[in-house]
């Protein structure tokens, strides 16, 4: 599929660990930013901005710490596949999954979207700038911000990064919070 939509062909794969092999209804993993872009273009779409993704992930909720509400475990039920236990060494699989979970195993959000927190990382089109929203706030309220067109990480200024979101199965519970954002190495 990657080749059909203009992505790169890998001559060899180093993804031999059992947890990374795609099976049945498990999500696709190890997708490079360029391949995600190529697939979106092939499908006649584009990668969302971080703000668009966050809006969709929240499913109509606003001001809540998690995309499903105020409590990490709503009514005692797990709402996402996250790392439970001694991070990073031991995942107790208390949520029912050690490693990657099949898609749609946790409740959908208010828009009917599944897996908008936990499980795997997702790419957005934004360049990573930890000061992006602070800079926007200084200019006033931003409606549908389009993301930073320049990337800058003060911790590693020579590396240009793109934003990826959601957290993943190997991430601790704190990363399931709606406002948590990570960056990934991606020279642009």
Contact 161, 151 (CB under 8 A): yes
Instruction: Please name the CATH architecture into which domain 47-188 falls.
Output: Alpha-Beta Complex (3.90)
State which H helix or E strand residue 164 sits in. Answer: strand 161-165
> What's the pTM?
0.76
Give the DSSP letter string of 69-107. Answer: BS-SSBTTB--SB-B-SSTTT----TTS-SSPPPTT-S-
Does the CA dihedral 82-43-34-4 come out positive or negative? positive
Domain ranges of the chain: 47-188
pLDDT tens series, the chain, 188 aa: 445 444 455 554 444 555 555 567 888 887 888 888 999 999 999 999 988 998 999 999 988 888 899 998 999 999 998 888 887 778 888 999 888 889 999 999 999 999 998 888 888 898 888 888 888 888 887 788 888 878 888 888 888 888 776 555 555 555 554 444 444 444 44
Where are the alpha helices (H) located in the chain, listed in sequence order?
33-42, 50-58, 132-138
């Amino acid at each position: 599929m990657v080749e059909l939509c203009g992505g790169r062909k890998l001559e060899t794969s180093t993804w031999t660990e059992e947890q990374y092999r795609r099976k049945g209804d498990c999500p696709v993993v190890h997708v490079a930013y360029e391949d995600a872009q190529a697939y979106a273009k092939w499908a006649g779409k584009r990668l969302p901005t971080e703000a668009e993704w966050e809006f969709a992930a929240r499913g109509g909720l606003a001001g809540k710490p998690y995309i499903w509400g105020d409590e990490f475990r709503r009514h005692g039920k797990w709402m996402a596949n996250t790392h439970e236990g001694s991070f990073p060494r031991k995942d107790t699989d208390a949520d029912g999954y050690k490693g990657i979970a099949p898609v749609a195993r946790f409740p959908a959000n208010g828009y009917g979207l599944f897996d908008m927190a936990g499980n795997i990382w997702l790419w957005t089109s934004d360049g990573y700038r930890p000061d992006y929203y602070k800079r926007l706030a200084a200019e006033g309220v931003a409606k549908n911000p389009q993301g930073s067109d320049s990337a800058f990480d003060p911790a590693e200024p020579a590396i240009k990064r793109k934003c990826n979101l959601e957290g993943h199965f190997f991430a601790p519970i704190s990363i399931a919070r709606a406002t948590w954002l990570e960056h990934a190495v991606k020279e642009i």
